Amino acid sequence: MAQDSRTFKDLRKLLAFGSGVGLEIGATDLEVAVTRVRPNRIQVLGRLSIENYATRPAAEWGAEYARFLKASGSERLSATVLLPRREVIVRQIALPGVAAKDIEGGIRFQLDTLHPYGEDEVVWGWSPLAYGSVLVGIALRSTVERYVALFVEAGIAVRSFTFPAAAVHAGIRLNGVGLEGEGFVALSRSAGGAVEVYGESPSHPLFSAEFDLTPQRATMLALSELRLAPDTPPKTLEEMLPVPAANPVQNDLSRNALPYATALSGACPRFAPAANILPPEYRRFNSRTVFVPTMVLAALLLLVAGSMAAYASWSEKQYLKQIDAGIARLEPLHKRADSLDRETERARARALLLDQFRKQTRMDLDALNELTHLLEPPAWSNNIDLARDSVRIGGEAPQTAPLLKILDASPFFEKTEIQMATGRASGEAFQIRTLRRRGK
């Protein structure tokens, strides 16, 4: 398992390519950091503080921002913006066993219970945590649109709005596959001088807060919340984030690491996803590199589709050849089977015909025997003509009419009729025709 984890970690590092701009919105200033991520090194290309942005014309500090990006060789990059803590409601939700495709639906189902904004319209985003949990950030749409309008006025392209917990969590993941199974507390100083606390533990996947307390007191509160041992030594947030190979002097990670973490999350969003609460209609992408994965995937898709089409055609031809060979192999057997079937039918027909001939003699004798019993004296017959379906009887009886009922009552005959009856001194000469019942 450990070997697999190291292999996955090395693979992630080999695929880590990208550049990002992290922009933190402070109380009075904007803190900007630009990073370039490569498999073997991470560089901070520049750091900028835009002072008093709220009281200055947006076009003015927007031009300052544009000059800074151009000097860093990153003028085509869109910014990942870190919203102030007070503007975002952060929640952790446990969704064990929920498939990745169903997570967003599960969050949306309980969204109304996760924020205090009531009927006000909100926007939200999420990112995965360890142990089957997710991190959700929620903000008022009006707040987000206010910042969007501000950056549009300044001419700044923004691709993502995120929040400190998501940015730090994503930045740390660029070190590897994650820190599941370990617990830690990391401290840093925010731009305003407060103590920034971030931690993770098996019982609490993520903890992030800002305190106006001493570092010792903030550490104890975080350890208690994370259910870690009280003697767990705190680390610095600078230690937990990937160490940059090149870093300008003005980018003091020990004082404010959040812009750096935000830039890292924007540089490799595929490997270190941070929750993005910016609605899709407001997202802007200036860098052409964002289309590289799409083009690569499209090329791979075309290659796979072409290969599948060629293979399908070749496979169909091979299959048809196999079918034709099987048909040719079985054709003589099929013809022989048809010939045997025809011979069998002819033999069966002959056998049935012979059976019918044998049965007919017996049935004729039974019918004749029945007539002998039915035509009792003084009636008598001098001519009996047996056919397959009828019998003609000629003779003499005292009266002919009663013979009809006598014959029809027999199981051998039905529908008896008198064809001729002639009176004589001794009785009536008759000729009767009767039908033989089926099978008699």
d(CA 421, CA 94): 109
246 close to 44: Cβ distance less than 8 angstroms: yes
d(CA 20, CA 42): 11
Query: 79 vs 437, which has greater pLDDT?
Result: 79
- Assign 315 a pLDDT band (cuts: 50, 70, 90): confident
- The residue count of the chain comes to 440
Strand ranges inside 170-314, DSSP E = 184-189, 195-200, 207-211, 235-236
Predicted confidence (pLDDT) at residue 400 exceeds the cutoff of 90: no
d(CA 181, CA 165): 19
d(CA 33, CA 26): 14
Predicted confidence (pLDDT) at residue 78 exceeds the cutoff of 90: yes
Segment 237-259 mean pLDDT: 86
Q: Where are the domains of the chain?
A: 2-177+241-286, 370-436
3-state secondary structure of 34: strand
pLDDT tens-digit profile of 324-341?
888 888 888 888 888 888
pLDDT recorded at residue 137? 96
Six-digit token string for 323:
């079918």
Least confident of 44-48, 59-63, 94-98: 94-98
Beta bridge partners of 236: 187
- Assign 252 a pLDDT band (cuts: 50, 70, 90): confident
Segment 263-274 mean pLDDT: 85
Six-digit token string for 46:
């520049």
pTM of the predicted model over 0.85: no
Residue from 59, 63, 65 nearest 25 by CA: 65
Six-digit token string for 255:
């004082």
- pLDDT, averaged across the chain: 86
pLDDT tens-digit profile of 143-188?
999 999 999 999 999 999 999 999 999 999 887 545 556 789 999 9
User: What CA dihedral angle connects 371, 373, 376 and 380, to 10 degrees?
Assistant: 30
In the numeric block, the tokens 């560089």 are attached to 43
d(CA 99, CA 102): 5
pLDDT recorded at residue 413? 86
d(CA 89, CA 92): 10
Predicted confidence (pLDDT) at residue 434 exceeds the cutoff of 60: yes
Segment 392-404 mean pLDDT: 85
pLDDT recorded at residue 131? 83
pLDDT recorded at residue 143? 95
The vertex-407 CA angle with 404 and 409, nearest 5°, equals 105
Q: Is 394 left (phi over 0), alpha (psi -120 to 50) or beta?
A: beta
- Assign 3 a pLDDT band (cuts: 50, 70, 90): very low
Segment 175-202 mean pLDDT: 80
DSSP symbol at 99: -
Residue from 131, 154, 143 nearest 60 by CA: 154
> Which of 22-26, 97-101, 177-181, 302-306 is the most confident on average?
22-26
d(CA 292, CA 343): 74
> What contacts 392, CB < 8 A, 6 or more positions away?
383, 384, 385, 419, 431, 432, 433
DSSP symbol at 251: -
- Assign 1 a pLDDT band (cuts: 50, 70, 90): very low
pLDDT recorded at residue 160? 95
In the numeric block, the tokens 């995965």 are attached to 128
Q: Burial level of 224, CB count in 10 A (0-12/13-18/19+)?
A: exposed
Segment 373-395 mean pLDDT: 85
Segment 35-41 mean pLDDT: 88
pLDDT recorded at residue 126? 95
pLDDT recorded at residue 122? 96
Write out the CATH class of domain 2-177+241-286: alpha beta
Predicted confidence (pLDDT) at residue 302 exceeds the cutoff of 70: yes
Residue from 19, 100, 11 nearest 292 by CA: 19
**Residue 25 CA: distances (Å) to CA of 21, 141, 437:** 13, 17, 109
CATH superfamily of the 370-436 domain? General secretion pathway protein M, EpsM (3.30.1360.100)
Helix then strand then coil, % of the chain, to nearest 5: 45, 25, 30
pLDDT recorded at residue 180? 55
pLDDT recorded at residue 354? 81
Predicted confidence (pLDDT) at residue 191 exceeds the cutoff of 80: no
The phi and psi torsions of 146 (rounded to 5 degrees) equal -65, -45
Q: Is 193 left (phi over 0), alpha (psi -120 to 50) or beta?
A: left
Compute CA 261 distance to the chain's CA centroid, rounded to the nearest angstrom. Answer: 34
pLDDT tens-digit profile of 355-379?
777 777 788 888 888 888 888 888 8
Residue 88's CB: how many other CB atoms inside 10 A? 26
Segment 257-284 mean pLDDT: 89
- Assign 2 a pLDDT band (cuts: 50, 70, 90): very low
d(CA 77, CA 434): 111
